[in-house]
Amino acid sequence: MKIIFKRYLGFIIILVLNIILFIIDRKNGLSSITIFGSIIFQMAKILPPIFVLLGLMDVWIPRETMEKFMGEKSGLLGILIAFFFGSFAAGPLYAAFPIAIILMKKGAKFLNILIFIGAWSTTKVPMFLFETASLGWRFSVIRLIMSIFGVITIGYAIELLISKKEKEDLYNKVRLMQ
């Protein structure tokens, strides 16, 4: 019971604060509860298909394959795969983190995981197409190129700033999640 309470503490705090706000100010409290419920409903629609795909990815892709293409010795190929995988992914950013955990579990290099998350958040193809239609191709191409360089630079910077021990701790936590 204590573990469940600890895991959902943030959710419980927000729920209690919404109830208190509703008691103090019905109009704003109702608005807050409606928005909170909408977010929970949106997540409930998106996460189940992602978890099904994660389960399939976990079963269908052998660790050796992931290590070969995205592991420590993958080099430029691993970076390109991480970029394309993140850029062509669908869904909000919070959906990238469970996928990143599977990538870690399968032996993907930490840098490639960082690039995958960065690409997911900034270089999505649908976003680029919408941007091009709304703001013009010149702006969109410049922003895309800057984002690619930014993602790679930030990925390498984080890779250098995080110690080997911290990375090992992260990978060990992922292994314990099984």
Range of the domain at 11: 1-46
How confident is residue 178, by pLDDT bands cut at 50, 70 and 90? low
Domain membership of residue 96 (yes or no) is: yes
Strand, coil or helix: 24? helix
Judged against a pLDDT cut of 70, whether residue 1 lies above it is answered with: no
Same domain membership, residue 121 and residue 97: yes
Structure-token match 């052998």, residue found:
62
The mean pLDDT of 148-154, rounded to a whole number, is 95
pLDDT in tens, 83-115: 999 998 877 888 889 889 999 998 899 999 999
Domain membership of residue 52 (yes or no) is: no
Same domain membership, residue 69 and residue 141: yes
If 0-12 CB within 10 Å is exposed, 13-18 middle and 19+ buried, where does residue 44 land?
exposed
Residue ranges in the chain assigned as alpha helix (H) = 2-7, 9-24, 26-60, 63-70, 75-87, 96-105, 110-122, 125-135, 137-161, 164-176
Domain membership of residue 56 (yes or no) is: no
Same domain membership, residue 34 and residue 98: no
pLDDT in tens, 155-165: 999 999 999 99
